[in-house]
Amino acid sequence: MGFFSKIKEGLRKTRENVSASIQGMLHSFTKIDDELFEELEELLVMGDVGVSTAGRICEECRQRVKQEGVKDPERIFGLLKEVTADLLRGGEALQLNTRPSIILVIGVNGVGKTTTIGKLAARFKQEGKKVVIAAADTFRAAAVEQLEVWAQRSGGDLIQQGEGSDPASVVFDSISAAKARGADVVICDTAGRLHNKKNLMDELAKINRVIDRELPGADKEVLLVLDAATGQNAVNQAREFKNFVDVTGIVLTKLDGTAKGGVVLAIRESLDIPVKFIGVGEQIDDLQPFNADEFAEALFAR
């Protein structure tokens, strides 16, 4: 299955929920008026786009209708695709130019964090890069066991310590190993305990101090993994993490299993955090780099 086909299939449930409803609504109108835009906004909100984001999209569509002199209601579907792509575009690419570079992977338990790390490692290995994986979620034994499996599958080097070890110490060992082995990327797992914000904040601050001390000037991405199936809860999680961590990008998992893919728009617009990867399946190559135009095309495919 090709790149676009994977995304299109992954967004099938969302498209059936959002796009099909909008097409049906537009088909029922003979002219473009306020009632049409009110219904459009309501359908977008129902598709987990979020109230403020739906309002912004509709306002932008209104402006383009005026500018372009659009009369046919069904042409709004194409405008919607353009506006969506414009809203999502920018900042999608990872900035990993130093050797080694660092990726901190954060997120609550259960969102697919460990799987994401394994798939990222596999992607980098396919690009010919040497990868070190830091098992810095030392409070959950299952996390290390899962990472071991993914490290074997992806060919990454796993660095771990005993259960309950200091996460920053694991990151230190991983950076040392990366330097010694000439690795290109260090991917760090972290604990997912959002309910205890102070502990998590202190832990991440300590990890960041180790990184800054051991790799001054290194490129660093902080990727927040969110489960698309949680809809607006994903937006709330992103907001909480953003309050105390400098999140550089979002990885949105499980898009293939949910009709709530519209949450991508809410995250991008309300939090101004770029989406960098989307998960559209269970296979090792089903973590796809985010492309705004491809996403909009797949979301609003007829």
> How buried is 55 (Cβ within 10 angstroms: 0-12 exposed, 13-18 middle, 19+ buried)?
middle
Determine the length of the chain.
302
- CA 37 – CA 80 distance, rounded (Å): 11
Nearest to 145 by CA among 204, 189, 79: 189
Query: ∠ CA 73-76-81 to the nearest 5 degrees?
Result: 160
Beta bridge partners of 187: 103, 133
- CA 185 – CA 204 distance, rounded (Å): 19
φ, ψ of residue 90 in degrees (nearest 5): 115, 130
**CB half-sphere exposure, 176, CA atoms < 13 A:** 9
Q: Per the annotation, where are the binding residues for GTP?
A: 107-114, 189-193, 253-256
- CA 199 – CA 205 distance, rounded (Å): 10
Strands 157-159 and 275-279: unpaired
- CA 19 – CA 47 distance, rounded (Å): 9
The DSSP secondary structure of 229-263, one letter per residue, reads GGTHHHHHHHHHHHHHS---EEEEE-GGG-S-TTH
Which residue carries 């698309």 as its tokens?
228
Amino acid type, 177: A
Which residue carries 């990472």 as its tokens?
147
Q: Per the annotation, where are the binding residues?
A: 107-114, 189-193, 253-256
